[in-house]
Each structure stands twice: as C-alpha cells, then as structure tokens.
Structure 1
Amino acid sequence: MTDESRLRQVIDAAPILDSIPFSIVATDAHGRIISANAAAERLLGYDAAELVGGPLGKIDAEDRASTGGWEQVLATAVGDHEWVYLRKDGAKVPVCETITALEGTSEEPVGYLAVAYDITQRKLDRAEVEFLENHDPLTKLPTRARLLRHLGDSIAAAEQDGNEVAVLVVDIDHLKRVNDALGLQAGDELLSRIADRLRSWVRATDVVARLGGDEFAIVLSGLQRAEAITSRVDVLLEDLLTTVSIGGHPLAVTVSIGGAVHPPGGPDPAALLKRADLAMEHAKASGRNNFQWYTDDLAEPGEDALALASALRQALRDGGLSVAYQPQVDVRTGRVVGIEALARWHHSELGEVTPDRFIPIAEDGGMIVQLGGWVLRKACRDVASIQRALGRPLRVAVNVSPHQFQSASWLGEITGALNDSGLPPAALELEITESILMDERSGVPDTLKAIRELGVSIVVDDFGRGYSNLAYLGRLPIDKIKIDRSFVTDLVPDDPAPVVDAIILMAHELGMTVVAEGVETAEQERYLRHRGCDEMQGFYYSRGVPTEDVVRTVQQISVF
C-alpha cells in the first residue's frame, strides 16, 4: 500500500471516526490537516472543511513549532500530554492530547493523528483542590502554610534590596462570646466580615491569611521603615471597631494586634510570625483593643500554662488568693457609695500574677466557677464588716463569668453568700458581660429576674466594647451600665466623645445609672461630670486596696 493510499484510508474512515467521542485531527507528514471528525468540530467550533488544508497550528493556542519544524515536533510527540487548543471564537480549551504516527511504506511516518479531549473540568477541579489546600474554606484567605512560604520569600527579598518586612497578627477579642450567645454560624459570619475588612486595608502586594480560630496574619513587604505603619494600624483598629450587624444583632468588634519586623532576626519566617504573636498576646494583656510592636523583653519564656494552672488550683485550695477593693464615687456628692471586688494573686515565686493572666487560666482550666464563688463569699463578708466600721451602707460589685451564670447552683450561691455574711441584698451588685445578655438560650431572662427578686442589682460591665446590642437593654432587668475604660482613656474636655455621650443619655432615658471605670485624670473626671455620669472609679480616686485599708481610703476620698 502506498503512502498516499494510507492517507486516503484515514480520510475515507471519517464516518467511523465521527462515532468516536474524542477529537481526532489527521495530518500529513508535514502537519497539514487532511481530516477532522465530528467531535473535533464540536470541540473547536470549526466545520471540518474549514480545517482541512490548514496547518495543525491553526487549532493551537501556543506555537507548537517554535523550537523546530513540524516534522521534528510531530516526530517527537509521544504519550499523553496537556495542551491548549484555540477555538474558532477565540476561546482557549485545555485538552489532553496524544499524537500517533501513521506508518507508511518507508521508515518515515506518512502522517499523524492528534487525538484529544476537553479537560476544562479537570483543570477546574484541580485548581479547586489546590486552592483548598492553600486557603481557608470559610474566609477564602491563604492558610498558615502558604503565608509562611510567602513570608520566607519576602524576607529573602528584603535581605537583597535592603527593605523591611512587617508581620501583623490580628486576634478578635472575645469571639467565644459571640459563638456562645448567637451560635457558631454568627461567629463564622463575623470572621468573614473581619476577613473582608482586612483585605480592603492591605495593599495589592500584601498578603492576609487566616491562622485558625480567631487569628489572622498580615505580611507587609517592601517597606522602607516598617514602624512607620503604626498610624495605619491605628486606623485599622478604628475601622474594625465600627459596628457590624450579624444576624440582626449590631456588634461592636475589637481586636488585639501584634507586630514584628525583619530585620533584625534570622531568615526563619516561623520565628518572625512567633514574635508577632507574642506581641499580640502582649496587646491582649494590655487591655485588648490596641496594637503593640514586638520587643526583645517579650522573648523571655513565660510560665507554662499547665504549671500556672496547677499553681492557681493550689492557691484556690490553700487560700493563696486575695481580694482588693476599688472605690466607686458618686459624682454629685463626692462620697464613696460602692466598691468593686477585684481578685488578686501574689505567688511566692512568680510575684504578682495579673488578672488578665490568671482569669483566662481559670476559665480554660474549669476553675472560674470556684474562683467566682470564692470572691463572692469573701466580698460579702468583707463589706458587711466594712459597713459596720463605717456606720453607713456601702455597695459591693462582684464580677460574674458566663460559666457562673450558667451554673445551676448560681442562685443558691448568691443566697448563701448573703445569708452567711448578713449583707443586705441591696448592697450587692453583680457585674455581667454583654455576652450573657445576648445569650438567646432559654433561662437567661428568668435568671436575671430571679436575681432582681432577691433584691440584688444587675450591672452590665464593659459596656460599649465587644458586642453591644441595645435591644436587650429595654427588655431585661438592668440597673446600671458601666462604660468601658477604653472610651474613658481618650476623653478631654473640649473634644466631644459621641459614644460616651450617647451611652449616658440612653441609660438615663431607660432609668439606669451610669458608672465610668478607668478614670485617671481630672480632665476625664470633668468631662464625665459635665455629661451627667452618675458614678466613677479609677486611679484618679484610688487603686484597688486590701480589705484592711478600705475604711481609711473611703474616709479620705473627697470631692475633686
């Protein structure tokens, strides 16, 4: 059979080839198309007649013969390989292609068959798998692993061009409160909203990633002086504080941010990320809702959490804790009308362990109910004694954790503490978090009502920060709102603070008392007094003092 006859067989076999679902394009030895089956027509958008006589390159999205003649290209094309065809309408189609030689009478092939099928879906599936391997499925942000790879590249580039790289770790404050009160779906929606805001804050060359849980990270590369972005981070804090609506609930979100810079330090991206994380933890310990840069003193190894939990458990068992009391002053009279009970822990080796360190340990270690109950009983006993020494009434405010509030024995503990101490119920205030008010599970309104029926007052602590929802204030039995210290810190007499003003006005309209915490300066005191705040507490009046110093401190405080 002659070579021409062999090619004629291929052309004459067109009806058979049309029944095959794969695209089949036949060429002569020089890559000129001599036939195309129906599947090829559907794949490429051409009629066969439009293809015949043209080069195989007509259907290629790339120049297949760029490195040599068609004879070389076709002769060396063996096995399945991925390629891209170009349709008549200009669309590109990824295919899996096999080119098979048609043997003739001589050693040289007389032509070739290019057999292909569309792998668009395969490519999409592969891309999706690769995306999911490198991105968080909820926020669609890169994962920790991808962030570290990018960070490593950024560090290498910085060492070459002399620029700096900054890493920020962003942690949402009290996300667990949202999950507990509104459900995991609301928490997921909040995470997605935060992710969107972080995306809008960064430059096109920066990378935002989700590290997991409530933590995000940002890599800012190509910086001439990384610390110059501090003002931008402050803007980010303000932007994130803007109220968002989650499931119909307006939430005011706060975050704690830590940052680290390279250089200095080695080229290990994980070490740089760890330094930023330590700075974030320092921001949390500094009152949350703020930004801190990493410094070398943060590199000192902290106490192991398990060891600290063990020490706290021993302190609860052996009486190693104490309670300090910070006065609350009536703005109109200048008299101390109440004191807040503050748990304190002095460890023989660790020294003073601050509440922002041991309270989370107590919560994670299942000790917060025991700790809260102990503070309640001691505060009731102490204040009953202090009242007798002063010869007049004095209220005491005790913080209540969500775990205590949800405990079935909580009401019994309140009643027992009052009865054992002889403290009148009207002298006890329970400070609860907004997350308790937002908990829509059954029992919350009934528990609040039962507490009020005992004669005990209910105070909303840290109001205006975290997850404020004004709708709860009008329908739940609340006596007092405590303005969070973060709003008090920046008060100056001639600079309006609309959030503070609105809280005071709203509370008074609802018949509630307003107390401001964290008052440290005469300017802050003056602003709050002029706006009608009812009570204040803070270092301006007194720090927390031990039980034995309360009477003397109360007597010494005068009107400023």
Structure 2
Amino acid sequence: MDTNQESLLYKALFEAAADGIIIINSRGIIESFSPSAEALFGYAETEVVGQNVSVLMPKDDAQRHDGYLNSYMETGKTSVIGKGREVTAMKKNGDVFRMHLSVGRADIPDSQVMFVGICHDLSPYLNVVKQLERVDIRYRNVFESEGLFIVRLTLNGTIILSNNAYAHQFLDDRIAGDNFLNSVADSSLQDAQRLLSLSHHGLSSEIKMPLMMSHDDTFKEVEWWFKQVKDNTGYHIQAVGIDVSEKVGATNEAFFLKNFDSITKLPQLDYVQMLFTESNRKDHDCYFMVFELVDFERIRVLNGEVLADKMLGELARSLGEKVLFEHFSRLQASRFLLIMKTHPTKPLEQQIQIIAEYIQTELKNTIGDISSDIRVGTAGFDPQKDSFACVVERALMAVEFSRQQNVFLSSYNESIHQAATRKKDIQKMLIEAIRDFNIDVYFQPKIDLQSRRISGYEALMRWFTDEYGYVSPLEVIETAQELNVLFELDKCVMKKALSIIKTLPHIFTVKSPVSINISARNFGSKRLIDGLILGVQDLGLDPRSIEVEVTEDALLTIGDQVQSSANALREAGIKICLDDFGTGYSALSYLGKLPLDNLKIDRSFVIESENESGRLMLEAIVSIAKSYHLTVTAEGIETPEQQAFLASIGCEYAQGFYYSKALPAKELPAWIDTYQAE
C-alpha cells in the first residue's frame, strides 16, 4: 500500500504511539497493526494483517461491520468518521472490553481509500469510575491510576481532590484548592465555563468534552468525561481525562504532510485552492504570479540537495515575511505561486514589476555569491467570471512563454494562450504521429564536387499537420525531448526511411547511399542500433547503401556503449558520418576514437567562406579530416562560388539549395532527370 510507510516520521509515530493504531482498507482488511495494538489485543501483527478487522470484535458487532463499511463506501454517509466513540472489542483470548475508538479517513494518491483507527483501552477508566461511585473519597489510592487525570470539583469548578497525575501536571503537586478553570487554556475556556454553568442545573448524563489544558507554557489536549455525582457532602462533578496530545499531534502532523510542502512549509496548491474558494472573494480583483528560479538545477548541482532545499526554504520564509500576499504556494521544484491583491490606485503593470523585481533581489540575497535569475508569468483574476484553476493555468502559460522567449516577465494575453494551445496540440499530435508512423521523410541530394554526379542523399524528417501546417524539425526534436520520446522519434524516422529506400532500389544504391540521422542521445542505444541493422537485413538492403549521421556532441559521451554501437555499424557494413562538425564541443583528439568515415561541415562555416578567415577555417577543417582519413561533405551550398572554393580545397561532397532542397521520394526521379540533363 502507498502510505509512505518507509518514512522515518511515519515509523516513529506508528511505533511509539501509546494508543493502538490500526489501518484498514476500504474492504475492511487490516493493512497495518501497531505495537501498541499488539499489546492491547494480544495478537502479533503477522496474525491479523490480511484479515478482516471484524476479528477484533464480538460476534454480533463483527457480523454488522462489513455492512456499515459497504454502506459508507456507497453513500459517503456516516456518523463515525472523524469522531470518537466507545465500542466493545475482543482480545485474542476471547476477553471482551470497552475501548475508545477514533476513526479517520485517508485518501491515498493512487485513489485507494484507507481508514485509520486509534484505539484506547477504557477498562482502567471505567474501573476507577465504578470505584469512585462506591467508596468514600478517603481512599485516595483509587485515584492513582497511570495515564488518567482524575479530579473531583465543586459545581463552581473548585478542585476538591485530584490524583497525582493531574496534580503533578497542572497543580505543582498540590492536590486541591485551585479552580479547574485556571488549568484550562484560553482556546477551551469558553467550553469549560459552559460545562460548569450546566452543572448548576444538573447533568443528567455523562458528558464527554475535549479541552486544551495548560500550565507553565505546557499544553496538553485532554479528552474529559464529566459526570455529576452525590455524596454525603452534596453534589460534585467527577472528571476523568485521557491525554490525547499524541493523537492530536499525529493528526496535525498528518494534516501538515498532506497540505504543506515539507521544504518551504508553504501550503500545497490544492489546499490554497480550497482556502481561496472558501473565502469567496467578490469584493476585489487580484492577480496570480508564478515565478521560477532559472538556474536552480545548477544551484542544486553545485551545492547539493540539502543546501539547495535550505535555500528554497529561506527564500520562502523571507518572502513570507516581507511580501504582502493573499496566498503563497510552492508548485514544484523551484516554481512558486503568489496570489496578490490588486491595488486600486496603482497601474497593474507597475505593481507586478515591483513585486517581480523585489523577488529577484531577495533571491540574490538568499543565494549569496551564486547568482540566479527568475522568470515570471502573471494572470489577472476576475472574481465575477474566473475560476481558480483557470487562472493558475494562465499564469503557468505566461511563465512558460517567458522561458521560451528568454524574457524576465510575461503577462497572460490571447497570443500567449494561442501559443500555449498550439504547443499542447503539437505535443499531442506528435505522440500520435510517432505512434502511427505519420512522420514524413524527404531526401536531399549530395553531389560529388569533382564529377558533379549524384553521390547520395540525406534522409530528413518532415512533419505536416492539418491544423498548423509544416512544423520545423527543430521544433519536432525539442518537443520530442520535452516529452521524452526522442528514441521513438528516431526509430520512427529510421523505419520510414528504410521502407522508402526498399521501394526505390534504382535510386538508392551503393554508389548513392542514404544517410539516416540518429540523435547523439540515442547513438549509444544498443536497442536502436540493433534495430537499424536488423531492419537493413530484413528488407534485404545492401548495408553499403545506408549511412548513419550523428552530431558531434555524441563524442562527449564516448563510452563502452557508444563505442560498441559504432563497432556494430562498422561490422554490419554501414558507414558513419559525423554531422555539424565544429558547432559542438568535441575535442580533435576524439575523432580517432570512433570508426568514422565522413565528416560533414556545418553550413555556418560555408557561409563564412566569403571572407578570408572563413576560408582559412574551412581549409583547416578539411585538413583535419584528411589527417584522419575521412571524406568531407559540406552542407548549405547556395552559390557556384562556394562550390568552386570547396572543390579547390579538397572537399569531396556537397549538398544545399544550390542543387536541391529536400524532396519527397516521389519527386526524386523527375529531379534526377532534370539535374542530369543540365
């Protein structure tokens, strides 16, 4: 079961609780049985876990229990949940006894419903009460019951006599004389006064009342049973109490863990939404501000998890003290939500800018000598027409727009909404397109610079949508990375390219092979490389008609698996081309670590061939490639001058708009005829 039982706090509370704790599921099956419950019922935990909780009840109660539980699960109506009551229980040896039972419901994140029962044996209390009703108060030893507070009062609250437990806790070891009300905390004083007032008219039955008791700055939650009794001196109030502070503390701790962030102590979003909705603010507008730390991951790496979380807690504490907000919540990681009341006389843009800049300043003070920036997104809340969730979503759209545009602050508007809607749509459609292999593959020709003949093709991904038309490969790749489906995208393009190559054996040959791009992240994936090799074999393709292109950042992660992938391709007869050389971070010494065949010069260097420094750079790259016995391909050729220069320095192959853009396979025959005719 998912109740976070492995947490140290949970274990400590569960094992140390004086009262028995029993956790059951919605079918009444016992899931957990605390050590105190073992002592109370006489069962070991292993004997009852997995059994119906009715095993702890007398026969008549046991037969009715499942019916009550099923009725509650169906209707949600009960008079038990969240309330304490006296019940009859049964020990392992068959002994029946009375106990106090408090039942609480816990909704677990995976939609399970669990119930937590707190069990307290009332046998000592009931025995004491019976004795007090039978014997004279001269027998003070009756009062010395461990774990119980026992007090006899006048109808005005004056203490006639108390047991040692009460006297030691609340009366500085005196037995009598003080007024009971002096030990009641202010928060419960009104309830205690009402009880004494009722006693003057006679208490017809026993009254149970929880009161917060205090003495010397020590507070205890005590559950009292008050009953009016008569002896030879008149009417008095007999009070017996149980210290339930531990139970209340555990309940409060559970409430905190459910509704507050443990690091920043800020309320969770769901709790803020409840508070915000309950306040039903119709008298003023406000705005929601979402801000996030731009470099928090770097801060976490440099300082470690503990210190980074401490910085977040300090930032939250500082802003909580210095910013006048309606609500403040941590959404996730280093992203926060502030709900601010709109000032009626200041321009909203000015209010937002002031708060955002203050947060930025406070962040720098908190982080210290490690600088960090924030990005901000805001959205206004109109109490007449907006919902809480809707405005949070708008503020998140705005902060995401700030991230995409690399700006400090963005306020929600229609264009941001359209951009966010488009992004979500693109994400959904890309998943479907990858699943259904609806990513197109186009082919851009490569030309031999010496013979001017067609020497091959590069398979390039193209994606067209009905709603948004053409989506650039860069956006497709970024979206795939965000969705963590880059492997599936590479696999889809690879399979699509191989299937097209199979249908056009007269175009895609050993003399004009096709280069298929594999991302640097997936080049080390044995599953993908094996899939490519197996696909070539299953389709009966000549492996020499296939090449693999990988960007140079793959060199940064050269390890056993990357080396293994390269070797597997070489053994299968598939060549490897290093794409976009010079734009990444690779060192020249890495070039000899993989069995490369071709080096491709990025188009940015080709453009620079118009000036002297650019030409020198191109000559150096070609010279480097030759020293490693690699052929060289230049991409982005757009002019005859670029073509002539690259040919003059020994570059073997070229591709670019000067020859052709990437074309769908069905258009290649016509282009080939036209090119060869020219």
- TM-score past 0.5 threshold: yes
Q: C-alpha separation between the residues in 1 aligned to 2:250 and 2:150?
A: 25
1:60 maps onto 2:184 in alignment: yes
The match for 2:316 is: 199
Q: CA deviation at 1:68?
A: 6.3
Deviation at 1:14, TM superposition (A): 0.9
Matching of residues 16-95 of structure 1 within 5 Å: 16-19=142-145, 21-44=147-170, 46-49=172-175, 52-62=176-186, 64=189, 71-72=196-197, 74-75=199-200, 78-87=206-215, 89-95=216-222
SS of 1:48's equivalent in the other structure is: coil
1:37 CA drift (Å): 0.8
Per-residue deviation at 1:7?
11
Q: CA deviation at 1:405?
A: 3.3
Contact 2:494/2:516, CA 8 A, preserved across alignment: no
Structure 2 residue corresponding to 1:147, chosen from 269, 272, 295: 272
Partners of 1:86 and 1:463 in 2: CA distance: 69
**Following TM superposition, by how much is the alpha carbon of 1:282 offset from its aligned partner in structure 2, in angstroms?**
3.6
CA distance in structure 2 between the aligned counterparts of 1:295 and 1:259, rounded to whole angstroms: 10
Instruction: Tell me how far 1:199 sits from its aligned partner.
Output: 2.1
In structure 1, the partner of 2:488 is 367
1:5-16 correspondence to structure 2 within 5 Å:
10-16=136-142
The letter of the residue matching 1:296 is: E
Alignment of 1:333-348 (within 5 A): 343-348=461-466
Shift of 1:148: 1.7
Distance 1:23 1:201, change over 3 A: closer
Q: CA deviation at 1:23?
A: 1.0
**Which secondary structure state, in structure 2, belongs to the residue aligned with residue 227 of structure 1?**
helix
Deviations 1:313-353 (A, max 9, x none): 55x55x6355899xxxxxxxxxxxxxx99855333542132
SS of corresponding position for 1:160: coil
Structure-2 separation of matches of 1:549 and 1:203: 55
2:251 to 126, 141, 145: 126
Separation in 1, partners of 2:355, 2:602: 29
**1:165-198 residue CA offsets vs partner (Å, 9 max, x unmatched):** 22316598998x999xx9xxx9987994785476
Deviation at 1:452, TM superposition (A): 12
Per-residue deviation, 1:10 = 4.8
The 1:270/1:554 distance shift into structure 2, 3 A limit, reads: farther
Equivalenced residue count is 429
The aligned counterpart of 2:636 is 550
Q: In the alignment, what sits opposite 2:230? A: 103
Note the alpha carbon deviations across 1:420-474, whole angstroms, 9 max, x for none.
Answer: 4687x9xx6614489x849x9x74676689999988659899989xxxxxxxx99
Identity across aligned pairs (percent)?
Answer: 17
Which stretch shows the higher mean deviation, 94-103 or 228-237? 228-237
Does residue 1:293 correspond to 2:439, yes or no? no
- Letter aligned with residue 61 of structure 1: A
- Counterpart position of 1:270: 389
Which residue of structure 1 aligns with residue 17 of structure 2?
A: none
- Does 2:476 align with 1:358? yes
Letter in 2 for 1:369: D
Contact 1:84–1:93, Cα closer than 8 Å, also in 2:
yes
1: CA distance between counterparts of 2:492 and 2:307? 31
Q: Alpha carbons of 1:306 and 1:166: their partners in 2 closer, same or farther (altered >3 Å)?
A: closer
Query: Contact 2:441–2:493 (CA<8 Å) still a contact in 1?
Result: no
Work out whether residues 25 and 37 of structure 1, in 8 Å CA contact, stay in contact via their aligned partners in 2.
yes
Task: Please say if residues 237 and 290 of structure 1, whose CA atoms lie closer than 8 Å, have aligned partners that are also in contact.
Answer: no
Within 5 Å, which residues of 2 pair with 1:344-423?
A: 344-355=462-473, 358-359=476-477, 360-361=479-480, 363-364=484-485, 367-371=488-492, 373=494, 400=519, 402-410=521-529, 420=544
User: Is the Cα contact below 8 Å between 1:32 and 1:56 reproduced in 2?
Assistant: yes
Find the aligned partners of 1:288 and 1:517 in 2 and give their Cα distance: 26
Distance 1:231 1:452 in 2: 61
Secondary structure of 1:101's aligned partner = strand
Cα distance between partner residues in 1 of 2:530 and 2:408: 36
Q: Hey, what's the Cα distance between the residues in 1 that align with 2:637 and 2:563?
A: 36
Mapped pair 1:209 → 2:329? yes
> Helix, strand or coil: the match of 2:524?
helix
Kept after mapping to 2: 8 A contact 1:346/1:353 = yes
- The separation in 1 between residues aligned to 2:364 and 2:525, in whole angstroms, is 28
Instruction: Choose the corresponding residue for 1:310, options 417, 421, 432.
Output: 432
The question of whether the paired residues in 1 share the 8 Å contact of 2:581 and 2:602 is answered with no
Contact 2:212 2:220 in 1 (8 A): yes
Alignment of 1:490-505 (within 5 A): none
TM superposition shift of 1:29: 3.2
Change (3 A) 1:82 1:269: same
Larger radius of gyration between Structure 1 and Structure 2: 2
Q: Find the aligned partners of 1:252 and 1:433 in 2 and give their Cα distance.
A: 31
Contact in 2 for aligned 1:372/1:404 (Cα 8 Å): no
Q: TM-score, normalised by structure 2?
A: 0.48
- Does residue 320 in structure 1 map to residue 440 in structure 2? yes
Shift of 1:281: 4.3
Q: Is the 8 A contact 2:522 2:528 kept in 1?
A: no
Provide the C-alpha distance between the structure 2 equivalents of 1:256 and 1:461, rounded to a whole number of angstroms: 32
Per-residue deviation, residues 223-270 of structure 1 (Å, max 9, x unmatched): 43553334764786899899x9xxxxxx99998754322248724101
Q: Deviations over 1:536-558 (max 9, x none)?
A: xxxxxxxxxxx99932169579x
| Aligned 8 A contact 2:331 2:337 in 1 | no
In structure 1, C-alpha distance between the alignment counterparts of 2:353 and 2:412, rounded to whole Å: 12
**TM-score, normalized by length of structure 1?**
0.56
Residues 548, 401 of structure 1: CA spacing in aligned structure 2 closer, same or farther, 3 A cutoff? closer
Find the partner of 2:341 among 210, 222, 237. 222
Contact 2:289/2:376 (<8 A) preserved:
no
Shift of 1:298: 3.9
2:524/2:561 contact within 8 Å kept: no
SS of the aligned residue for 2:527 comes to coil
CA contact (8 A) 1:309 1:365 kept: no
The equivalent residue for 1:160 is: 283
| CA distance in 2: counterparts of 1:323 and 1:201, whole angstroms | 58
Answer whether contact 1:166 1:221 (CA < 8 A) is retained: yes
Provide the residue aligned with 2:10 in structure 1.
Answer: none
| Secondary structure, counterpart of 1:19 in structure 2 | coil
Q: CA separation in 2, counterparts of 1:266 and 1:452?
A: 64
- State the secondary structure of the residue aligned to 2:143: helix
Distance 1:138 1:121 in 2: 24
Q: 2:96 is matched with which residue?
A: none
Q: Give, as a single letter, the amino acid of the residue that structure 2 aligns with 1:199.
A: A
Aligned-partner SS, 2:185: coil
Measure, in 1, the Cα distance between the counterparts of 2:496 and 2:185.
75
Q: Which amino acid aligns with 1:309?
A: I
Change (3 A) 1:324 1:456: closer
* Counterpart code for 1:112: I
What's the secondary structure of 1:117's corresponding residue? strand
Contact 2:155 2:200 in 1 (8 A): no
Provide the rounded CA distance (Å) in 1 between the counterparts of 2:299 and 2:640.
38
144-153 vs 354-363, greater mean Cα deviation? 354-363
Over 3 Å counting, the alpha-carbon distance change for 1:235 and 1:83 in structure 2 is closer
Deviation of residue 218 (structure 1)?
A: 0.5
Q: 1:64 to 1:240 in 2, by over 3 A?
A: closer
Amino acid at match of 2:168: R
Asked if the contact 1:80–1:98 (Cα under 8 Å) also holds between the matched residues in 2, the reply is yes
Q: Is the 8 A contact 1:279 1:294 kept in 2?
A: yes
Q: Is the 8 A contact 1:258 1:278 kept in 2?
A: yes
